Amino acid sequence: MENDGSAIALEAHELTKIYRMGAVEVHALRGVDVEFSEGELIVLLGPSGSGKSTLLNILGGLDTPTGGTVTFRGQLLRMDSERALNLYRRDHVGFVFQFYNLIPSLTARENVSLVTEIARNPMSPDEALSIVGLGDRIDHFPAQLSGGEQQRVAIARAIAKRPDLLLCDEPTGALDSKTGVLVLEAILKINRELGTTTALITHNAVIAEIANRVLYFADGRIVETRQNAVQRAPGELAW
């Protein structure tokens, strides 16, 4: 997807995050500036503890920064208002987590319904599950699904609300490569077909090939940004 000249969907300025663990202060983010364009697919790459997940949590309104600002479509996010953050998450952001975080007592369809019931303009749970190729597994409980299937339910749950922003934290981290490819294809499909701005955290450098842009993290900072000239399809990847 060509993004040059697209509108800015999300913008973070001088983000810092300090965790205090007793007397020790851990600087998770040390002044991060970043911009996501509408419809862009960004991969965040870096070793553990480099601040990727912290950034994604703050951008998604799951956590608040110690300093700095986040602007979504020109509107400054009010980090001090829990209600504002809640509405932001509810209306605009879809999350996919490494460990799926499905509710074990709900079926695939019900897990998706959990979100569609409170969203403003959702697609039906069946449609969301069909998009990720799970139209025939809708009444299965998480325990009856494989890891890849569970992750695809999690993606269906994230996209069912038609989010403007899809944030994925190591979505293939717990999967084998073949299943990982299926999951990446689902994410790419949503990015392309729905035009959802997507940010994806991974440890796997190979996966970076599917992105428009790759942000390299180290020690709480973005140390390098790379624009991929060509986006490769997940099916072409091997790791």
Partner 1 sequence: MSSLDRKLLRELWRLKAQVLAIALVIASGTALLIMALTTIEALEETTAAYYERTRFADVFAQAKRVPEHLGRDIAEIPGVRLAETRIVEGAILDMPGFAEPVVAQLLSLPERGPALLNALVIRSGRLIDPTRPDEVVVSEPFAEAHRLKPGDTFEAVLRGRKRTLHVVGTALSPEFVYAIAPGGLMPDDERFGILWMGHDALAAAFDLKASFNSVSLSLLAGTDEKDVIQRLDGLLAPFGGIGAYGRADQTSNWFLESEIAQQKNMSRIMPMIFLAVAAFLTNMVMARLIETERREIGLLKAFGYGNLAIGWHYAKMVLVIGTIGVLIGSLLGTWLGHWNTELYTKFYRFPFLLYRPGPAGFVIAGAISLGAALAGSLATVRRAVRLAPAEAMLPPSPPIYRRSWASRTALAGALDEPSRMILRRIIRWPVRAFLASLGLAMSIAVLIMALQWVDAIDSLAETAFERGQHQDATVAFNELQPVDTVTDFENLPGVLSAEPYRHASARISHGHIVERQGIIGVRDGAVLSPVFDVERGRVEVPPGGVMISRKLAELLNARVGDTVAVELLEGRQARLTLPVAQIFETYLGTPAYMDMAALNRIAGDGRVVSGLHIRVDARSRTNLLERLKDVPNIASVLFRQAAIDTFYKTMGETIFIFIGFFVAFSVTLSVGVTYNSIRIALSERARELATLRVLGFSRWEISYILLGEAGILTWIAVPLGAAIGYGLAWYMTSAFETELYRVPLVLRDATFGKAALIALTATLICAAIRAPAARSPGSDRRAEDKGVACERREAQIGHLGQLTGPARGRHCLCAAAAAYSGRPCRCGGRNVASDDRRGGRDAGARRLHTSRAVAWSVATHHRRARRHRQGGGNLARADRARCARVSRRAHGGGAAGRGRGSSGRA
Reference 203, options 74, 98, 99; nearest CA is 98
- Residue 72 binds partner 1 (CB under 8 A): no
Sheet with 8-21: strands ordered across: 24-37, 8-21, 67-72, 75-76
- Residue 228 binds partner 1 (CB under 8 A): no
- Residue 6 binds partner 1 (CB under 8 A): no
**What backbone torsions phi and psi does residue 13 show, to the nearest 5 degrees?**
-130, 125
Instruction: For residue 202, count other CB atoms closer than 10 A to its CB.
Output: 25
How far the first Cα of the chain sits from its last, in Å, is: 24
- Residue 151 binds partner 1 (CB under 8 A): no
Q: Site mask, partner 1, residues 111-150, x = CB under 8 A? A: x-xxx-xxx----------------------xxxxxx--x
Give dist(CA 224, CA 52) in Å, integer: 13
Segment lying near partner 1 (by CB under 8 A), choices 29-37, 47-55, 129-137, 188-196: 47-55
- Residue 26 binds partner 1 (CB under 8 A): no
Binding site for partner 1 (CB under 8 A): 21-22, 45-49, 57, 60, 62-64, 82-83, 86-87, 89-91, 95, 97-101, 103, 105-106, 110-111, 113-115, 117-119, 142-147, 150, 173-174, 176-179, 202-205, 216, 238-239
